[in-house]
Amino acid sequence: MNPPVGQRKLRLATTSLAGCFGCHMSLLDIDERLFELLDRVDLDRSPLTDIKRCGPCDIGLIEGGICNAENVHVLREFRQQCKVLIALGACAVNGGLPAQRNHLDLGQCLQEVYRTGPGIVGGQVPNDPELPLPLNQVHPVHEIVRIDYFIPGCPPSGDAIWKFLTDLLDGRTPRLGHPLLHFD
């Protein structure tokens, strides 16, 4: 299904912030439909291309919430470059599993994980200046920038992602009904 003659291919960027890459695995789960997708879009910045900076894009997919300063930076870059920005998966939508630390004190978390936890001898909290600073709470992406669409699920199924993207590419209002709409 090539785009009509004279119509350029759309550009798609993807990233995983405070996520587990499960949503990207689910994107790969569209299996052979990946070929059809790549007939219709070119990939820009994405873990699949290893391009490091996002250029002007039509669609951006954000997996994961916002847990550190770099996440904020990348998210803002995506918002600046992408015409349509989509929150992909539970963590991007509501913080998800990483947000389960939100009622804990970050300093105490770091101490326990790196210094005082069971089996740790002579550990120290990583302090390399290149490491992005963690935020005191994890946030969903819509609390930082405007988000156009949301695909919930942990992860959303390949079928759900495919339905959503093809709706969007075909100019329909993207819609996930039963049984594609899932929070778990």
Binding region for other proteins (CB under 8 A): 87, 90, 93-97, 99-100, 102-103, 137, 139-140, 142-143, 147, 149-152, 154, 175-179, 181-184
- Residue 76 CB, shortest distance to other proteins, in Å, is 18
Nearer to other proteins, 27 or 154 (CB): 154
Give me the least distance between CB of 144 and other proteins, in Å please: 11
| Alpha-carbon span 52 to 44, nearest angstrom | 9
**Closer to other proteins by Cβ: residue 97 or 145:** 97
In 50-174, which residue ranges form alpha helices assigned H by DSSP? 69-81, 90-94, 106-111, 158-169
Euclidean distance between CA atoms 115 and 121, whole angstroms: 7
Cis amide leading into 126 (omega within 30): no
Which is closer to other proteins, CB of 40 or CB of 182? 182
Shortest distance (Å) from residue 35 CB to other proteins: 28
Q: Nearest 5 degrees, angle CA 137-CA 101-CA 85?
A: 55
